[in-house]
Structure 1
Amino acid sequence: MKRRRSFPVKSISLRLRLFFVIVAPLLVMAAVLGVWRINAAQKTAEELFDRSLLAAALAISRDVILSDGDAILPSTRDLIRDASGGEVFYHATGPGGIYVTGYAYPPVEPGRGNSDLYEPSFFEATYRDEKVRVLRVTERITIENLTGDATVTVWQRIADRAEFVRLLVVRAAALIGGLLATLILVVWFGVQLGLRPLTDLQEAISIRSPDDLSRIKRAVPAETRGIVQTLNHLFGQVERSIEAHQTFISDAAHQLRNPAAAVQSMAVALRDAPTEEDRLKRTEEMVVAARAAARVANQLLSLDRLRFLSPEDHNTRFDLVADVRQICADTAPAALSRGIDFELDAPSAGIWVHGDQLFLSEAVKNLIDNALKHGGAGLGKVAVTVTADDGQVHVTVADDGKGLSPGDREVALGRFTQVAPSDGSGLGLAIVASVMERHKGDLTINTVTQGASITVSLPIVTNN
C-alpha cells in the first residue's frame, strides 16, 4: 500500500494574517464610508445651492418692490455673490412682463402649467452652452398704480456645484485616508507588540539545548497557554520515551553481555579442550549458549519493531485457528521430548482476525515458550485452547508448573524481570503484552488453583 507523501505548505506569518484580518474590514468600511460621503456631499451641495438661489430670488424680489421696479441694491448683489459660492445670474420682470433688471434672456422652463404659477420652481437648463440650475419665483405685487405678477429667475452653473462637491469629497477623502493610514500603522505595530510574548517564547525555546526537555515556565497570554501546555505535555512524553529507550538499551546491553561472555568463554574452553570428548561437549554447550544469545537478540529486535508498528501494518486478515495449529505442530515435538504432555483444543472452523501475522504468531509462541521455561521441574502438561464469544477470540495457554497469579502481573509483564529465576530473558510476556496493546487486544493472567494460565484476546473480523 503506497503512502501519500506530504509536502510542507508555506503559509503567511501570524502577524500578516492578523493584519489582513483587521485591516480588510477597515478598508471595506472606508470604501462604504467614501461612497456615503460622496452621496452626502452631492445632497449637501444641492440643498445649500438651492437655498442660496432661493435667498437670492427673495432678495431680488424684495429690492424690485422697494425700488418700484428700478433695480436691485448693490449690497444685495454683493451678498448674493458672496453667499452662493459662485456666480449667480438673475432676471426680473414686473407686472405685465415688463423687464426690470438682470440678464436679458433667462433659461425657460418647458411645460410649466398655470396651476402652480406661484410655487417656486427648480429645474435644470442650458445657458450659454453650460448646464445651469434654475429657480423661478412669481409673486403678486403692486408698483405705484400697477398691480400684476413679478417674476424673478435666478440660475447658477452646475459646474460650480460640482467643484464644491469635489472639494467636499477631497476633504473627506483626506480625512478618511489619514485616519485609515493611522489605523493601519497602529494595527501593524500593535499586532507586533501583541505578538511579542510569542516571539519571546520562540526565542526561549530556540536557545534550549537538545537535552533540555524541562517544562516551559514562561508567562504567556491566556490565548497561548493551551499551546504551552501542549508543548509541555509533548516534552514530558519525549523525555519519558527517551528515558525508557535509554533504560531499554542499558538493560539490553546487560542481557546480551552475559550470553556473549558465555559464548566467548565456551569458545576458549573449546579451543583448549584436552580430548575429543571434551571438545564435543564444549561445542554442544557453545551451540546452546549461541542459541540463547540469538533468542535474546531476536526478542530485543521484536520489541524495538513494536515501537514503530502503525495501524497500516494491521491490514493482514488471516485464520488465527490455522496459525495456532501450525505453531503447536512446530512446538509440540520439543515438549514431548521432555516428557511433557502437550494438548491443543481448537474449533474446526476458522476464526479470522486482522493484524500483523508475524507478531501475533510470535505472541502465541512466547506464551507457549514461557510455559515450558518457567514451569519448573514439576511441569507435566501444557494445554493450548482456542475459544470465541462476543466477537472476541481467546487463546489460552495453561500449565501445571510453578504457578503464576494475577498479583504477579507487573513483574511478569515487565522487561527483563521474572517472577522466579529461570533460563529465560524476561522478555517473552513483555513482547506479548506489547503486541496485544498494538492490536487493541487484551492479556489476562487467570486465577487457577495449580500452575499458570494466560489468555490473550483479539477482535474477530467477519468474512466480508
Structure 2
Amino acid sequence: MKTRDPSLFTRLAVTIALVLAVGAAGLTSLAWYSARTAADEAYDRLLVGAVLQIAEALTVQNGEVTVDLPISAFEMLALSDRDRIFYRLTGPKGELLTGYPDLPVPASGGERRDRPVVSDGVFRDVPVRIASVGRSFAGADVQGWAQVVVAQTREARFSLARDLTLNATGLVLIMSGIAFGGVIFALRYSLKPLTRIETALTLRDPQDLTPLSLETPREIRALVGSINHFMSRLGERMELMQRFIADAAHQIRTPLTALSGQVDLLAHEADAIRQRRHLERVQARTKQLGRLANQLLSHAMVVHRKESVPFERIDLAKVARLALRNTLPVSLNPDIVTSFEAPPGPLLIHGDRVSLREAISNILDNAVQHGAVARLGIVLSRQGTSARLEVHDDGPGIPRSQWALVTQRFAKDPSGRRSGGLGLAIASEVAATHQGQLSFLERDEKGFIVALSFPLADPEEDP
C-alpha cells in the first residue's frame, strides 16, 4: 500500500519542533546545573558563616579550650526547616570538645587551616555538605590548632534548585511555544506563493501552456522558471505531435482516396488493357503512399532524437556509406551508375548517427525520385574546419527560385502546386541540429549538387 508523503509544511514544522524540543531539553539541563550551583553557593555562605562564628566562640579558660556555642550561628542554618545540622569541635590535641565524634572532616588540600573548606560528604547514609575551619592558639597554656566542623543535609538545597529549575523550565516552555507559533505563522505565510502556483496550475485550462506570470519571492523564481521551461518544451512537443498528426491526416488522405478509387475501377474493369493501366496506377499510388509514410515516420523520429539522444564522435564517411547501401537497393534504377568518394582516414564529427543516416538517405532518395538519370554519387571532403558531403546527380536539378521552398514541409510554389515533400526538410532540420548547413549548387558538368556541411570534431579529443 502506497503511503502518502508528508507535506513540505509538515516536514518543516516537525523539524523545527524537534529542534525546539532538543533546545528546550538542553536549556532545562543547563538550568538544573545552574540552579544547583546557585543553591550551593547560597547555602554554603550560611554554612561558612556558622563555622566562622563557632570558631570565634572558642576561648581558653584555665588552660583548656572551651566553647559557648553561639545561638545565632544555628539560627542562620535553621532558616531551612527541612535540614538537619551536625557539628564537631576538636581541640589542639585532637580531643573532642563537643559534637558528633564520627563526623568526617573534609580534606584541606594543603590550604591554610584558618580558611574555611567546603565539600560534599555522606554522614549516617545521608548526603551532607560539610564545612570546616581551624583556629590557632599560641598561648602559654594552649598551643596548636582547634578545628570546627559543621555539616548540613541537602534537602533545602535540592528544593531550591528544583524550584529554580521549574521556574526556568516554565519560561523555556513558554518561549518555545511562542517561537513555535511564530514559526508556524511564518511557514504559512512563506508557503503562500507555492499555494498560488498550485492554484494557478490547477485552474488553468489543459491546453494553456503559456508561461506563468506570478509575483513570487526570489527563492521561488527558479521553480517558476523551471515550470515555464517545462511547459515551453511540452508545448513544442505537443505542437510537433499535432503537426505530425495534421500532416499525416492531410497528406495521406489524398493518396488513400485516389488508391481506393483506382482499386474500385480495377475491380469493375473488364478490359485487360485498362485493367493493366489501372493496376499500374495502383502500384504508383501504393509506392507514393509508402514513401510518404516513411518520410513522416522518419521526420517524427528525427524530431524525437533531436532532444533525447546525446551526440557522439562518429565517422561521417561510414554513416554515408551505410546510408548509400541501405537506400539505393530499394529505389535505384539498375541503369544508374553510383559512385562514392571519401578522403583517407576517418571524417569525425559530433552527432547522432541515426539522424544523419536518415538525412543522407532522404537526399539520396530525393535525387533518385526527381533527379538522377544515369549517374549518382557521394563525395566527402574536408574544407577547413568543416566536413562536407555532396550528393551529385545528372538530373535537371531544382530551380534556384525553389531552393528555399523545398526545405519546407510540403511547401507549395506560387502556382499552388506542391514543390516537395519531407525529404529535404528532414535533411535541413538534421543539419541545423548538428550546427551544420544544407545548401544547393547549380547544375554544372558534375550535375546538380545537394551539400551538407558539419563542424569537424577536435582531433585531440579522446574518441
TM-score range, shorter-chain basis?
0.7 to 0.9
In structure 2, what residue type is equivalent to 1:326? R
1:427 and 2:425 equivalent?
no
Question: Are 1:78 and 2:72 an aligned pair?
Answer: no
**1:320 matches 2:319:** yes
Q: Deviations for 1:307-335, whole angstroms, at most 9, x for unmatched residues?
A: 43343898999933642553576378528
Map of 2:63 onto structure 1: none
Match of 2:333 in 1: 334
Q: 1:120·1:137 contact (CA, 8 Å) conserved in 2?
A: yes
Query: What secondary structure, in the 3-state scheme, does the structure 2 residue paired with 1:296 have?
Result: helix
After superposition, the Cα gap between the structure-2 partners of 1:359 and 1:254, relative to the gap in structure 1 and judged at 3 Å, is same
- Superposition TM-score, scaled by structure 1 size: 0.75
* Counterpart selection for 2:157 from 158, 161, 164: 161
Query: Of residues 286, 289, 292 in structure 2, which corresponds to 1:296?
Result: 292
Q: How does 1:287-436 map to 2 (within 5 A)?
A: 287-309=283-305, 310-311=308-309, 319-320=318-319, 322-324=321-323, 326-327=325-326, 330=329, 334=333, 336=335, 342-347=337-342, 360-375=356-371, 382-387=376-381, 394-399=388-393, 401-403=396-398, 411-417=405-411, 425-436=420-431
Q: 1:158, CA displacement in angstroms?
A: 3.6
Is contact 1:107–1:134 with CA below 8 Å preserved after alignment? no
Cα 1:270–1:166 change in 2 (3 A) is same
Q: Which whole-Å deviations, capped at 9, do the CAs of 1:193-238 have from their partners, x for residues lacking one?
A: 4213212321331233322323322332221121112212222332
**For residues 385 and 132 of structure 1, what CA distance do their matches in structure 2 show?**
106
Q: Choose from 32, 44, 57 the match for 1:38.
A: 32
Alignment of 1:65-464 (within 5 A): 70-73=68-71, 77-82=74-79, 86-90=83-87, 103=99, 105=101, 107-109=103-105, 116-139=112-135, 152-271=148-267, 273=269, 275-309=271-305, 310-311=308-309, 319-320=318-319, 322-324=321-323, 326-327=325-326, 330=329, 334=333, 336=335, 342-347=337-342, 360-375=356-371, 382-387=376-381, 394-399=388-393, 401-403=396-398, 411-417=405-411, 425-436=420-431, 440=434, 442-448=436-442, 450=444, 452-456=448-452
Instruction: Answer with 208-217 or 413-422: which moved more.
Output: 413-422
Distance 1:285-1:164 versus aligned 2 partners, 3 A rule: same
CA gap of 1:388–1:330, structure 2 versus 1, over 3 A, is farther
The AA in structure 2 aligned to 1:295 is: R
Distance 2:85 2:254 in 1: 116
Q: Give the superposition deviation at 1:25.
A: 4.3
Shift in Å at residue 302 of structure 1?
Answer: 1.9
The answer (yes or no) to whether the contact 1:412–1:419 under 8 Å persists in 2 is no
Q: Distance in 1 between matches of 2:326 and 2:106?
A: 112
Distance change >3 Å, CA 325–CA 146, structure 1 → 2 = closer
Answer whether contact 1:373 1:423 (CA < 8 A) is retained.
no
AA aligned to 1:209 is D
Mapped to 1, the partners of 2:225 and 2:402 lie a distance apart of 36
Contact 1:320 1:352 in 2 (8 A): no
CA distance in 1, matches of 2:85, 2:31: 27
Tell me the amino acid that sits aligned with residue 320 of structure 1.
Answer: V
Aligned pair count reads 444
- Please, which moves more after superposition, 295-304 or 27-36? 27-36
Take 1:71 and 1:322, find their aligned partners in 2: how far apart are those partners? 120
Cα offset, 1:288, TM superposition: 1.2
Change (3 A) 1:27 1:413: farther
Say if 2:88 and 2:103, in contact at 8 Å, map to a contact too: no
* SS of residue in 2 equivalent to 1:238: helix
3-state secondary structure, aligned to 1:175: helix
Residue 18 of structure 1 corresponds to: 12
The answer (yes or no) to whether the contact 1:321–1:347 under 8 Å persists in 2 is no
Quick one: distance in 2 between partners of 1:141 and 1:254?
A: 126
User: Helix, strand or coil: the match of 1:416?
Assistant: coil
Change (3 A) 1:249 1:115: closer
CA contact (8 A) 1:107 1:126 kept: no
Residue pair 1:267, 1:286 contacting (<8 A) in 2 also? yes
Q: Using a 3 Å threshold, how does the CA distance of structure 1 residues 248 and 92 change in structure 2: closer, same or farther?
A: same
Instruction: Confirm or deny: 8 A CA contact 2:259 2:282 kept in the other structure.
Output: yes
* Counterparts in 2 of 1:288 and 1:350: CA distance versus 1, 3 Å: farther
Superposed displacement of residue 20, structure 1: 4.8
Is contact 1:89-1:156 (8 Å) kept?
yes
Residues 412, 418 of structure 2: 8 Å contact kept = no
Question: 1:385 is paired with a residue of what secondary structure?
Answer: strand
Distance 2:435 2:109 in 1: 100
In the aligned structure 2, how far is the partner of 1:328 from the partner of 1:88?
112
Code of the aligned partner of 1:168: L
Q: Normalised by the size of structure 2, how large is the TM-score?
A: 0.75
Deviations 1:338-360 (A, max 9, x none): xxxx4424249785889877765
Q: Distance in 2 between matches of 1:415 and 1:171?
A: 83
SS state of the match for residue 451, structure 2?
A: strand
Q: Which amino acid aligns with 2:7?
A: S
State the AA in 1 paired with 2:319: L
> For 1:227 and 1:72, how far apart are their aligned partners in 2?
81
Q: What is the deviation of 1:293?
A: 1.8
CA–CA distance in structure 2, aligned partners of residues 393 and 215 of structure 1: 40
Counterpart contact for 1:327–1:361, Cα < 8 Å: no
Task: Give the whole-Å Cα distance in 2 for the aligned partners of 1:133 and 1:410.
Answer: 104
Shift of 1:445: 0.4
Question: 1:13, CA displacement in angstroms?
Answer: 3.0
